[in-house]
Amino acid sequence: MALMGRNCSVKLNSNTVEDLYNWKIDLTSNPIEQAVFGDIWGKTHGLGITKWSGGFDGIYSEDDITGQVAFQNAQISGTLCSGVQFYMDTATTYYTGDLYITSHNLSADPEDVVRVTYTFNGTGPLVLTTV
């Protein structure tokens, strides 16, 4: 069954971050090539360190003290955000992980609302939960 994007959310300390409309997680693994003398056709491959990063976008809300403002303050102070949850539906399928906010960008246009983009680097495992 396809998951509907309109049901997605981001939570910090069990609080839904308000006014977000997009999130993205990138999972990457470092490939390792192990060439040895005598190899003719190919190399032996393995995977090294896996990392994850991403970002989320929304309409800036200075009133969202437990969500957007908490992420903003964490980025300014270099504080770890623990147990952030990225929901792919209303309650049953989500990723959980610890992350550092690496940038917080605001954009304003006279014919639009103020928009915000956060980017992050994960630290430790990213865990997928399906209930």
What are the tens digits of pLDDT across the range 89-131?
A: 888 899 999 999 999 999 999 999 999 999 999 999 999 999 8
Give the CATH number, domain containing residue 91. Answer: 2.30.110.20
Specify the higher pLDDT residue, 4 or 84.
Answer: 84
Residue 57 lies in a domain: yes
What are the structure tokens assigned to 18, written together?
A: 């308000």
Residue 93 lies in a domain: yes
Q: Using one digit for the tens of pLDDT, what is the confidence trace for 30-50? A: 888 777 777 666 666 777 788
Q: Say how many Å lie between the first and final Cα of the chain, rounded.
A: 14
Residue 74 lies in a domain: yes
The model's pTM is 0.85
Residue 32 lies in a domain: no
- CA–CA gap between residue 70 and residue 92 (Å, rounded): 25
Residue 98 lies in a domain: yes
